[in-house]
Amino acid sequence: MSLTFIYSRIISKDIKRTFEVSYIHMALKIIIRILLFTIRYTLSMYIIKYFFLISLFFLNLFGQTIDLKFLSKTVKNANVLLVTAESTQDLKLFALLKDKKIAFNIHPFKKNIFYALVPFHYFLEEKQHQLIINYTLNGKDFFEGFQINLIEDDYLSEDIKVSSSKVSLSQANKKRTSKEYKEAITIYNAVSSENYWFDDFVFPLNSTVTSPFGTKRIYNNITKSYHTGIDFKAPLNSKIKASNNGIVKLSKSRFYAGNSIIIDHGHGVFTCYFHLNKMFVKVGDFVQKGDIIGLSGNTGRSTGPHLHFATFVNGIQINPVNLLQTLNSLN
């Protein structure tokens, strides 16, 4: 064995060993780096998280003068959501739902309380809706967001065999119904900042319900319309009472609803009495709760004498049972 051979063996062994050592070294380095990175990342995440929490805390310190309360965070369709806000200051408060802006009003019965009736339309999509409460405090605008879960109420449904489009109207009646529709919409959207009632709302007569609110009218598996009020059993000429104090905004004969009365109770609340035989009040009259405003009948598109009672809040049709319950809960 030559010396050079032995020498080269030793060198190659050494090189091998050096390689092995550097591999372990590299692996260790990588592990340490990963560990350091994880620690740094977690730490910075904690710092960011607490920074946000602390800044939110300080932001809220300036905004917490208002105590917002929700009757519930889950609402059924064609129902109203009651939101109250407590403040000793005179505030401009609004609830924003989709493209609708609902003003808060001064609570009719409680001091330092503002309230809003947020209406959820019958056909509004069943999902989480973002409700924004906007108010101005000390010259600053505040926006607070809340998630409201809209679910479908268990309304009845009926299948309609004939397509709605097949119920044909003459040109004159089409013009008339569209004019009457627009007239009513204008009334329901004219929200008064005053309220005229100081007591519980009542149903316009003591009688059995022959058809509840909300029954879905299904044409070819598609809900095209729904029953927009409560039908009360009412033999011809039954006395119809005003649900509460208010100003008469409509009192006339209409194509579908027949002799109709609409009362504005203020704060965006309206009650409607349809298919009447006689009307005892005219537009502009101030009526008191319980006043006999007319007699029931069978006028307009009606299949027999009954009273169709409907309610609106801030321009949206609401289940009268739910609305009267909500309004009476204020007292």
Which chain residues interact with Zn ion by CB under 5 A?
Answer: 229, 231, 308
- Which amino acid is present at 127? K
Q: Which is nearer to Zn ion, 63 or 212 (CB)?
A: 212
Confirm if 216 and 164 have CB atoms less than 8 A apart.
no
Q: Which is nearer to Zn ion, 267 or 308 (CB)?
A: 308
313, β-bridge pairs:
269, 316
Using CB positions, name the residue nearest to Zn ion.
308
Least distance (Å) between residue 306 CB and Zn ion: 7
Q: 183 Cβ partners below 8 Å, 6+ apart? A: 250
Least distance (Å) between residue 260 CB and Zn ion: 12
Least distance (Å) between residue 229 CB and Zn ion: 5
308, β-bridge pairs:
231, 274
Least distance (Å) between residue 227 CB and Zn ion: 6
In angstroms, the Cα distances linking 96 to 71, 130, 133 are: 17, 8, 6
Q: Which is nearer to Zn ion, 192 or 298 (CB)?
A: 298
Angle at 174 (CA atoms; ends 170, 178), nearest 5 degrees: 170
Q: Which is nearer to Zn ion, 267 or 306 (CB)?
A: 306
Q: What's the sign of the alpha-carbon dihedral 225, 251, 234, 311?
A: positive
Q: Which is nearer to Zn ion, 119 or 258 (CB)?
A: 258
User: Exposed, middle or buried by CB within 10 Å (0-12, 13-18, 19+), for 319?
Assistant: buried
Least distance (Å) between residue 228 CB and Zn ion: 7
